[in-house]
Structure 1
């Protein structure tokens, strides 16, 4: 199985998120009870445990909070996929997002670097949200 064969697990609480990726839109949940913006999609708010959300589209821009470069393939990866760069990205929208940084200069990613959202097609017409440096 390759990364492009990945089929996202759609559950009632995550279906709108994955459906939006089909049109390359990144949606975040906002809790109607406490107003907190939330990522990753969940069934209950991690702040107040309410279960009433609205979906808001993200700007897809942010900055690197933490970054790690990996030189060994992970599960569905091949050696040609390495090195790969994993980062926590603080989205301008106000949530922290775990994803890969891609692009030819990905290995130079550092804390504080600006990034922008890009998409990788996967099975079922969905896309994975990834980031590239925005220099």
Structure 2
């Protein structure tokens, strides 16, 4: 069951694809059959920019099974530029401290590894601080 589930969610996890309501134009992530804003059917794909800001965050020091090797790590509520708020792990922080309001961008990174004989790697979105462009 694990492999089909990850295959089904690949657009959300790798490209941050949600939906836009054709009636009220609300941006939805994750995708839903019914728009929570107007209650009408919402089935039009929408690719989010992957840009946003940190709304809130915490640092995890005790990880669930399968994630013990990554502690401590930061998890944030990221408010996407298009409106929705998503929960995601922060990555590529280096020595940089996390701050509310910090601009971040989505990147695809390894989430975990299935430890059995299949050795399946699970990838998905994380967010990193926006890299400074050429001046």
Q: TM-score w.r.t. structure 2 length?
A: 0.75
Equivalenced residue count is 123
Task: Please give the root-mean-square deviation of Cα atoms over the aligned residues, in Å.
Answer: 2.8
Q: 1:67 aligns with which of 51, 57, 70?
A: 57
Unaligned runs of 5+ in 2: 115-119
Match of 2:83 in 1: 94
Structure 1 position 127 matched with structure 2 position 127: no
Structure 1 position 25 matched with structure 2 position 15: yes
Unaligned runs of 5+ in 1: 1-5
CA distance in 1, matches of 2:4, 2:58: 24
**Cα deviations by residue, 1:38-62 (Å, 9 ceiling, x for unpaired):** 1122222112222232111111111
CA contact (8 A) 1:102 1:130 kept: yes
Higher relative contact order (CA 8 A, sep 6+): 1
CA distance in 1, matches of 2:4, 2:129: 25
